[in-house]
């Protein structure tokens, strides 16, 4: 089950998103401000973050920048959620590394659809990375086996030649 971290200063929005994500089958964690994002990420290790833009202490853009500048968290997909539908904000979010951007109020089923898309993409990336690792490991094992076979053949050839000369 994928884990979603919801970060929004509005208790009502957190409740709505939490219920929506739980009903969609996700495990949900919450934070109330951008200042709580990094500690929450390290505690819960979410697969995806739903991050509000406008929050009182640390806004979502600042939190997103911190996430994407940290090697331990930069690969976690982040979907920004905001009541501000300014094109400049969308550009800022994308430039900072947000995967997607949802305007409040959202359409029925929109959040679930976008989260499912992001989680599916993440799982495909992980699966591809795992396949590449297995292929790489298999290639290394094949190279080791070929080297052992080569050394064994050289040893047999060398031993055979010495036995012939000694006869």
Average pLDDT in the chain: 87
Within a domain: 154: no
Within a domain: 160: no
| pLDDT, position 77 | 95
| pLDDT, position 62 | 96
Question: For 27-53, how does the pLDDT look when each residue is reduced to its tens digit (9 = 90+)?
Answer: 999 999 999 999 999 999 999 999 999
Q: What's the structural domain count of the chain? A: 1
Within a domain: 63: yes
Within a domain: 138: no
DSSP letters along 29-75, please? EEESSGGGHHHHHHHH--SEEEEES--SSS-HHHHHHHHHHSTTTTT
The pair phi, psi for residue 27, each rounded to 5°, is -85, 135
Domain, as residue range, for 85: 3-127
d(CA 155, CA 137): 27
Within a domain: 153: no
Within a domain: 141: no
Within a domain: 16: yes
Spans of the chain below 50 pLDDT:
164, 167
d(CA 82, CA 97): 16
Q: Indicate the pTM of the whole model.
A: 0.76
CATH number at residue 115: 3.40.50.2300
């Amino acid at each position: 089950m994928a884990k979603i971290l919801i970060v929004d200063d509005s208790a009502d929005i957190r409740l709505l998103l939490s219920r929506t994500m739980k009903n969609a089958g996700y495990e949900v964690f919450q934070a109330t401000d951008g200042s709580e994002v990094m500690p929450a990420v390290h505690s819960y290790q979410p697969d995806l973050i739903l991050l509000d833009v406008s929050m009182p202490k640390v806004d979502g853009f600042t939190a997103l920048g911190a996430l994407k500048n940290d090697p331990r968290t930069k690969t976690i997909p982040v979907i920004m959620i905001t009541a501000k539908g300014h094109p400049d904000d969308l550009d800022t979010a994308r430039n900072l590394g947000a995967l997607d951007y949802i305007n409040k109020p959202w359409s029925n089923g929109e959040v679930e659809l976008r989260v499912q898309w992001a989680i599916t993409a993440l799982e495909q990336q992980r699966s591809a990375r795992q396949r590449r690792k297995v292929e790489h490991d298999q290639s290394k094992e094949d190279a080791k086996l070929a080297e052992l076979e080569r050394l064994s053949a050289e040893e047999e050839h060398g031993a055979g030649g010495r036995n012939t000369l000694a006869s």
